[in-house]
Amino acid sequence: MEQWESRGHLLTEQINPNSLNLDQLNPLELVDLFNQEDAQTLKAIAMARQELALAISLTSQALAKGGRLFYIGAGTSGRLGVLDAAECPPTFCTPPELVQGIIAGGAAALVRSSEDLEDKAEDGAAVIAQREIHELDVVVGITAGGTTPYVHGALQAAKQRGATTIAISCVPAEQVEIAVDVDIRLLTGPELLAGSTRLKAGTVTKMALNILSTGTMVMLGKVYGNQMVDVAVTNHKLHDRALRIICNLSDISREEAAILLEKSGRRVKLALLMQKTGLSAAAGQELLQKHRGQLRAALQAYNQID
């Protein structure tokens, strides 16, 4: 894309006046300067609060109708998307296909630099076709500098297929235009190490993805209060967490919680519903399904009937 051959004007490529003597700082001065600059990430999130909220709303609505959430990016941006997607199944017990991360270069690019693969828009469009993305899906293109052809190609192809499109970038709209449904701009300013967007840009992107995925799962009923009641009980740590969640949200002992968890098929949300209503596992699961997995709604409905 010829208009981006010279990228020096981009916010993420500019020289940071606060770090002109970076190579002369001692370790403590380095840490202090990083800490000072990283404060910009919180401001950037605050400035994008409306767009982030809209992204959560649209994504949760799409997933509730049977859609999927895709993150797509190259380099650091792609790795962050894959990381967030990979963390959804253990945290929220979601199937692996519900939230997917796509990185230019595939799995190999997660551990070895492959930034040269980001320059082909047609590759981004091709992966959208390969994943059979459709109108119920949500595609989040992540590109710190806003110019990555791979991401632009993917977003354009996703839009043509009727999917909801979201962009996350760290440059102002007037520097790079991105035609999407939700345009999230996280403006953290020039990096301490000029052009190294794995720093503030990477940090703020991870923050935004945390908010988007967690907010979406809250809207889908994966959380009760502030606890992950759809946690996947797949190891000792998560088994302990499941028991503590049940104990925290009900007035029973850890031993009673362990028995209840097994009766529910190791499904924390169902175990809680059984404890609070006295329903069997089958009846409890039926009630949850009737209320789209929303524990609070299921409990309210039961109490009204009761």
Q: Which residues are catalytic?
A: 87, 118
Q: Which residue has the tokens 């993917």?
A: 154
DSSP string for the chain: -GGGS--TTSGGGSPPGGGTTGGG--HHHHHHHHHHHHHHHHHHHHHTHHHHHHHHHHHHHHHHTT--EEEEESHHHHHHHHHHHHHHHHHH---TTTEEEEETTGGGGGTS--GGGGG-HHHHHHHHHHTT--TT-EEEEE-TTS--HHHHHHHHHHHHTT-EEEEEESS-TTTS----SEEEE----S-SSTT-TTTHHHHHHHHHHHHHHHHHHHHTT--BTTB-TT----SHHHHHHHHHHHHHHSS--HHHHHHHHHHTTS-HHHHHHHHHH---HHHHHHHHHHTTT-HHHHHHHHHHH-
CA distance 233 to 242: 7
Say if CB 147 and CB 162 are below 8 A apart: no
* Alpha carbon distances (Å) from 107 to 40, 79, 249, 286: 31, 10, 40, 39
